[in-house]
Amino acid sequence: MHNQIIINQITILGILALIGYITAKLKFFPDGFSLGLNKLVIKVTLPLMIFTSLSKFDFSIEILKSSFFVMIFAYTSMFLLLLFGTISAKLMKLESHAYTIHRIHTTFGNIAFLGYPLLDSLFPGGKGLLFAVVYHIVLSSMLWTVGVMLFNKNRKIKLTESLKHLINPNTIAFALGITAFLIKLELPYILDKTFSGLGGTTIYLSMIYIGMMLSRISIKGTFKELQIYVLSVNKMLIVPFILLLIINFTESLFGYEMDVIAKSVVVLQTAMPCMAMIVIIATEFGSDDELAAKNVFLTTLFSIVTLPVVYWFIGWV
Protein backbone atom coordinates (compact mmCIF):
# COMPACT_ATOMS: atom_id res chain seq x y z
CA MET A 1 0.00 0.00 0.00
CA HIS A 2 2.73 2.46 1.00
CA ASN A 3 4.73 1.61 -2.12
CA GLN A 4 1.63 2.47 -4.16
CA ILE A 5 1.41 5.80 -2.29
CA ILE A 6 5.05 6.55 -3.20
CA ILE A 7 4.49 5.63 -6.85
CA ASN A 8 1.27 7.67 -7.02
CA GLN A 9 2.88 10.65 -5.29
CA ILE A 10 5.94 10.68 -7.53
CA THR A 11 3.69 10.29 -10.60
CA ILE A 12 1.69 13.33 -9.50
CA LEU A 13 4.92 15.25 -8.92
CA GLY A 14 6.15 14.17 -12.34
CA ILE A 15 3.00 15.48 -14.04
CA LEU A 16 3.35 18.79 -12.20
CA ALA A 17 6.99 19.06 -13.26
CA LEU A 18 5.97 18.30 -16.85
CA ILE A 19 3.47 21.17 -16.71
CA GLY A 20 6.25 23.49 -15.52
CA TYR A 21 8.57 22.17 -18.23
CA ILE A 22 6.03 22.70 -21.04
CA THR A 23 4.98 26.18 -19.89
CA ALA A 24 8.64 27.24 -19.72
CA LYS A 25 9.37 25.84 -23.19
CA LEU A 26 6.34 27.68 -24.55
CA LYS A 27 7.54 30.86 -22.81
CA PHE A 28 4.26 31.48 -21.00
CA PHE A 29 6.04 33.53 -18.34
CA PRO A 30 8.57 36.41 -18.39
CA ASP A 31 12.27 36.04 -17.56
CA GLY A 32 12.90 35.72 -13.85
CA PHE A 33 9.48 34.22 -13.13
CA SER A 34 10.94 30.86 -12.02
CA LEU A 35 13.22 32.56 -9.49
CA GLY A 36 10.24 34.48 -8.10
CA LEU A 37 8.29 31.23 -7.88
CA ASN A 38 11.17 29.66 -5.96
CA LYS A 39 11.17 32.48 -3.44
CA LEU A 40 7.38 32.27 -3.08
CA VAL A 41 7.66 28.59 -2.12
CA ILE A 42 10.69 28.88 0.16
CA LYS A 43 9.62 32.08 1.93
CA VAL A 44 5.82 31.83 1.99
CA THR A 45 4.00 28.60 1.15
CA LEU A 46 6.48 26.10 2.64
CA PRO A 47 6.75 27.95 5.99
CA LEU A 48 2.94 28.08 6.17
CA MET A 49 2.74 24.36 5.43
CA ILE A 50 5.21 23.65 8.25
CA PHE A 51 3.50 25.97 10.72
CA THR A 52 -0.08 24.79 10.13
CA SER A 53 0.92 21.11 10.27
CA LEU A 54 3.00 21.33 13.43
CA SER A 55 0.65 23.65 15.33
CA LYS A 56 -2.03 20.94 15.23
CA PHE A 57 0.33 18.08 16.07
CA ASP A 58 0.06 15.86 19.18
CA PHE A 59 3.44 16.26 20.89
CA SER A 60 4.93 13.91 23.51
CA ILE A 61 8.17 12.96 25.28
CA GLU A 62 8.52 10.01 22.89
CA ILE A 63 8.33 12.39 19.92
CA LEU A 64 11.02 14.58 21.50
CA LYS A 65 13.24 11.53 22.05
CA SER A 66 12.68 10.33 18.48
CA SER A 67 13.49 13.82 17.15
CA PHE A 68 16.82 13.68 18.96
CA PHE A 69 17.66 10.36 17.26
CA VAL A 70 16.55 11.76 13.89
CA MET A 71 18.99 14.63 14.38
CA ILE A 72 21.87 12.28 15.29
CA PHE A 73 21.27 9.96 12.34
CA ALA A 74 20.65 12.89 9.98
CA TYR A 75 24.17 14.14 10.70
CA THR A 76 25.43 10.57 10.25
CA SER A 77 23.76 10.38 6.84
CA MET A 78 25.16 13.77 5.78
CA PHE A 79 28.74 12.72 6.56
CA LEU A 80 28.27 9.34 4.88
CA LEU A 81 26.91 11.01 1.75
CA LEU A 82 29.77 13.52 1.67
CA LEU A 83 32.29 10.71 2.15
CA PHE A 84 30.85 8.65 -0.71
CA GLY A 85 30.59 11.73 -2.92
CA THR A 86 34.23 12.64 -2.28
CA ILE A 87 35.50 9.11 -2.92
CA SER A 88 33.52 8.68 -6.16
CA ALA A 89 34.54 12.14 -7.42
CA LYS A 90 38.21 11.27 -6.86
CA LEU A 91 37.87 7.83 -8.46
CA MET A 92 36.27 9.38 -11.56
CA LYS A 93 38.96 12.09 -11.54
CA LEU A 94 36.43 14.91 -11.71
CA GLU A 95 37.95 18.36 -11.71
CA SER A 96 37.04 21.91 -10.74
CA HIS A 97 33.30 22.67 -10.71
CA ALA A 98 32.27 19.12 -11.64
CA TYR A 99 34.15 17.83 -8.58
CA THR A 100 32.44 20.36 -6.31
CA ILE A 101 28.92 19.82 -7.69
CA HIS A 102 29.27 16.03 -7.48
CA ARG A 103 30.23 16.15 -3.80
CA ILE A 104 27.61 18.71 -2.85
CA HIS A 105 24.79 17.07 -4.78
CA THR A 106 25.62 13.66 -3.35
CA THR A 107 25.31 15.20 0.12
CA PHE A 108 22.20 17.37 -0.19
CA GLY A 109 18.83 15.99 -1.28
CA ASN A 110 15.52 17.45 -2.38
CA ILE A 111 14.06 17.03 1.12
CA ALA A 112 11.75 20.05 0.99
CA PHE A 113 10.38 20.25 -2.57
CA LEU A 114 9.94 16.46 -2.85
CA GLY A 115 10.47 15.10 0.67
CA TYR A 116 7.87 17.17 2.52
CA PRO A 117 4.85 16.42 0.34
CA LEU A 118 5.86 12.76 -0.08
CA LEU A 119 6.38 12.13 3.65
CA ASP A 120 3.25 14.05 4.54
CA SER A 121 1.32 11.71 2.25
CA LEU A 122 3.01 8.56 3.57
CA PHE A 123 2.63 9.53 7.24
CA PRO A 124 -0.40 11.83 7.59
CA GLY A 125 -1.17 13.58 10.85
CA GLY A 126 1.97 15.71 11.08
CA LYS A 127 4.35 13.16 12.61
CA GLY A 128 6.22 12.44 9.37
CA LEU A 129 6.44 16.16 8.58
CA LEU A 130 7.81 16.93 12.05
CA PHE A 131 10.70 14.49 11.64
CA ALA A 132 11.22 15.75 8.07
CA VAL A 133 11.65 19.29 9.40
CA VAL A 134 14.15 18.07 12.02
CA TYR A 135 16.16 16.46 9.20
CA HIS A 136 15.87 19.70 7.23
CA ILE A 137 17.34 21.69 10.13
CA VAL A 138 20.35 19.37 10.13
CA LEU A 139 20.72 19.67 6.37
CA SER A 140 20.50 23.47 6.55
CA SER A 141 23.23 23.57 9.21
CA MET A 142 25.45 21.50 6.91
CA LEU A 143 24.54 23.33 3.69
CA TRP A 144 25.33 26.81 4.99
CA THR A 145 28.58 25.78 6.67
CA VAL A 146 30.20 22.77 5.00
CA GLY A 147 28.37 23.38 1.70
CA VAL A 148 29.49 27.00 1.51
CA MET A 149 33.06 25.99 2.32
CA LEU A 150 33.00 23.47 -0.55
CA PHE A 151 31.76 26.15 -2.94
CA ASN A 152 34.39 28.59 -1.64
CA LYS A 153 37.54 26.48 -1.43
CA ASN A 154 39.68 29.42 -2.41
CA ARG A 155 37.72 32.18 -0.68
CA LYS A 156 37.40 32.96 3.00
CA ILE A 157 33.83 33.17 4.27
CA LYS A 158 33.07 34.20 7.83
CA LEU A 159 31.32 31.57 9.92
CA THR A 160 28.70 34.12 10.98
CA GLU A 161 27.94 34.79 7.31
CA SER A 162 27.12 31.11 6.80
CA LEU A 163 25.24 30.65 10.07
CA LYS A 164 22.86 33.53 9.40
CA HIS A 165 21.24 31.40 6.69
CA LEU A 166 20.08 29.00 9.43
CA ILE A 167 17.62 31.67 10.53
CA ASN A 168 15.15 31.52 7.67
CA PRO A 169 11.36 31.41 7.20
CA ASN A 170 11.31 27.61 7.46
CA THR A 171 13.20 27.33 10.76
CA ILE A 172 11.13 30.21 12.12
CA ALA A 173 7.93 28.44 11.03
CA PHE A 174 9.16 25.28 12.77
CA ALA A 175 9.75 27.18 16.04
CA LEU A 176 6.41 28.98 15.81
CA GLY A 177 4.58 25.75 14.98
CA ILE A 178 6.01 23.96 18.04
CA THR A 179 5.28 27.00 20.22
CA ALA A 180 1.68 27.19 18.95
CA PHE A 181 1.20 23.55 19.88
CA LEU A 182 2.73 23.90 23.34
CA ILE A 183 0.50 26.86 24.24
CA LYS A 184 -2.46 25.19 22.49
CA LEU A 185 -2.98 28.14 20.18
CA GLU A 186 -6.01 27.87 17.91
CA LEU A 187 -6.03 30.22 14.96
CA PRO A 188 -9.29 31.93 14.00
CA TYR A 189 -11.14 29.98 11.31
CA ILE A 190 -10.39 32.52 8.57
CA LEU A 191 -6.64 32.56 9.29
CA ASP A 192 -6.48 28.79 9.63
CA LYS A 193 -8.21 28.21 6.28
CA THR A 194 -6.07 30.86 4.60
CA PHE A 195 -2.74 29.62 5.94
CA SER A 196 -3.57 25.93 5.46
CA GLY A 197 -4.83 26.52 1.93
CA LEU A 198 -1.81 28.57 0.90
CA GLY A 199 0.57 26.10 2.53
CA GLY A 200 -1.17 23.31 0.63
CA THR A 201 -0.08 24.82 -2.68
CA THR A 202 3.58 24.04 -1.88
CA ILE A 203 3.58 20.67 -3.63
CA TYR A 204 2.14 22.16 -6.84
CA LEU A 205 4.26 25.29 -7.01
CA SER A 206 7.51 23.54 -6.09
CA MET A 207 7.22 20.89 -8.79
CA ILE A 208 6.18 23.41 -11.43
CA TYR A 209 9.33 25.35 -10.48
CA ILE A 210 11.49 22.21 -10.87
CA GLY A 211 9.94 21.56 -14.29
CA MET A 212 10.69 25.12 -15.39
CA MET A 213 14.26 24.76 -14.17
CA LEU A 214 14.73 21.48 -16.06
CA SER A 215 13.56 23.12 -19.28
CA ARG A 216 16.94 24.88 -19.47
CA ILE A 217 19.03 21.73 -19.90
CA SER A 218 19.67 19.22 -22.68
CA ILE A 219 17.82 16.10 -21.59
CA LYS A 220 19.43 13.98 -24.32
CA GLY A 221 22.92 14.91 -23.15
CA THR A 222 22.04 14.24 -19.53
CA PHE A 223 21.73 10.48 -20.08
CA LYS A 224 25.36 10.39 -21.24
CA GLU A 225 26.75 11.73 -17.94
CA LEU A 226 28.40 8.77 -16.18
CA GLN A 227 28.97 10.68 -12.96
CA ILE A 228 25.21 11.19 -12.49
CA TYR A 229 24.64 7.42 -12.52
CA VAL A 230 27.36 6.95 -9.90
CA LEU A 231 25.92 9.80 -7.83
CA SER A 232 22.44 8.25 -8.07
CA VAL A 233 23.53 4.81 -6.86
CA ASN A 234 25.55 6.27 -3.97
CA LYS A 235 22.93 8.78 -2.88
CA MET A 236 19.68 6.94 -3.40
CA LEU A 237 20.59 3.30 -2.73
CA ILE A 238 23.94 2.52 -1.09
CA VAL A 239 24.08 5.19 1.64
CA PRO A 240 20.40 4.83 2.69
CA PHE A 241 20.92 1.07 3.05
CA ILE A 242 24.11 1.55 5.06
CA LEU A 243 22.39 4.14 7.27
CA LEU A 244 19.49 1.78 7.97
CA LEU A 245 21.92 -0.97 8.98
CA ILE A 246 23.74 1.49 11.26
CA ILE A 247 20.46 2.51 12.91
CA ASN A 248 19.43 -1.13 13.45
CA PHE A 249 22.87 -2.01 14.82
CA THR A 250 22.74 0.96 17.21
CA GLU A 251 19.29 -0.10 18.38
CA SER A 252 20.47 -3.61 19.18
CA LEU A 253 23.68 -2.34 20.78
CA PHE A 254 22.00 0.09 23.18
CA GLY A 255 18.74 -1.80 23.60
CA TYR A 256 16.31 0.88 22.39
CA GLU A 257 13.81 0.90 19.54
CA MET A 258 13.54 4.01 17.40
CA ASP A 259 10.09 5.19 16.33
CA VAL A 260 9.26 3.44 13.03
CA ILE A 261 8.10 6.65 11.34
CA ALA A 262 11.20 8.53 12.56
CA LYS A 263 13.45 5.78 11.19
CA SER A 264 11.57 5.71 7.87
CA VAL A 265 11.75 9.49 7.51
CA VAL A 266 15.49 9.79 8.14
CA VAL A 267 16.29 6.97 5.69
CA LEU A 268 13.88 8.23 3.00
CA GLN A 269 15.18 11.79 3.36
CA THR A 270 18.70 10.43 2.86
CA ALA A 271 17.49 8.70 -0.32
CA MET A 272 15.91 11.80 -1.89
CA PRO A 273 17.11 12.92 -5.34
CA CYS A 274 19.45 15.90 -5.72
CA MET A 275 18.50 19.20 -4.12
CA ALA A 276 16.94 21.64 -6.60
CA MET A 277 18.12 24.66 -4.60
CA ILE A 278 21.75 23.74 -5.37
CA VAL A 279 21.16 24.87 -8.96
CA ILE A 280 20.43 28.40 -7.76
CA ILE A 281 23.26 28.35 -5.22
CA ALA A 282 25.69 27.09 -7.89
CA THR A 283 24.72 30.05 -10.09
CA GLU A 284 25.36 32.48 -7.25
CA PHE A 285 28.80 31.00 -6.56
CA GLY A 286 29.78 30.80 -10.23
CA SER A 287 29.82 27.00 -10.30
CA ASP A 288 28.40 24.56 -12.88
CA ASP A 289 24.65 25.19 -12.58
CA GLU A 290 23.94 23.27 -15.81
CA LEU A 291 25.49 20.10 -14.40
CA ALA A 292 23.54 20.67 -11.18
CA ALA A 293 20.30 20.88 -13.18
CA LYS A 294 21.15 17.64 -14.98
CA ASN A 295 21.75 15.96 -11.61
CA VAL A 296 18.33 17.09 -10.39
CA PHE A 297 16.57 15.87 -13.53
CA LEU A 298 18.08 12.39 -13.73
CA THR A 299 18.03 11.60 -10.01
CA THR A 300 14.41 12.76 -9.77
CA LEU A 301 13.56 10.46 -12.67
CA PHE A 302 15.38 7.53 -11.02
CA SER A 303 13.62 8.19 -7.70
CA ILE A 304 10.41 6.79 -9.20
CA VAL A 305 12.11 3.39 -8.82
CA THR A 306 14.61 3.91 -5.99
CA LEU A 307 12.30 5.42 -3.35
CA PRO A 308 9.86 2.45 -3.41
CA VAL A 309 12.88 0.11 -3.25
CA VAL A 310 14.29 1.93 -0.21
CA TYR A 311 10.89 1.96 1.49
CA TRP A 312 10.50 -1.76 0.86
CA PHE A 313 13.98 -2.35 2.29
CA ILE A 314 13.06 -0.43 5.47
CA GLY A 315 10.10 -2.73 6.02
CA TRP A 316 12.06 -5.86 5.14
CA VAL A 317 15.00 -5.12 7.47
User: Mean pLDDT, 10 residues at a time, over the chain (317 residues)?
Assistant: 68 84 91 84 84 74 86 96 96 90 94 80 81 86 79 61 67 82 84 90 81 78 86 96 95 87 94 85 74 87 89 83
Q: Please give the helix or strand (H or E) that residue 182 lies within, else none.
A: helix 169-182
Would you state the pLDDT for residue 106?
96
Report CA dihedral (204, 2, 300, 264) to the nearest 10 degrees. 110
Q: Are 139 and 174 in contact (CB under 8 A)?
A: no
Reported pTM: 0.80
Per-residue pLDDT tens digits for 209-240: 878 877 877 777 778 888 999 999 999 999 99
Most distant pair of Cα atoms in the chain: their distance? 58
For the chain, the structural domain boundaries read 2-27+35-316
End-to-end CA distance of the chain: 18
Options 1.20.1530, 1.20.120, 1.10.3470, 1.10.357; CATH for 2-27+35-316 is 1.20.1530
Report CA dihedral (273, 279, 281, 287) to the nearest 10 degrees. 120
The burial class, CB within 10 Å (0-12 / 13-18 / 19+), for 95 is exposed
| CA pair distance 317, 313, nearest whole angstrom | 6
Per-residue pLDDT tens digits for 60-115: 778 888 889 999 999 999 999 999 999 999 999 998 889 999 999 999 998 877 78
Would you state the pLDDT for residue 102?
94
* Helices and strands (DSSP H and E) totals, the chain: 18, 0
Would you state the pLDDT for residue 159?
58
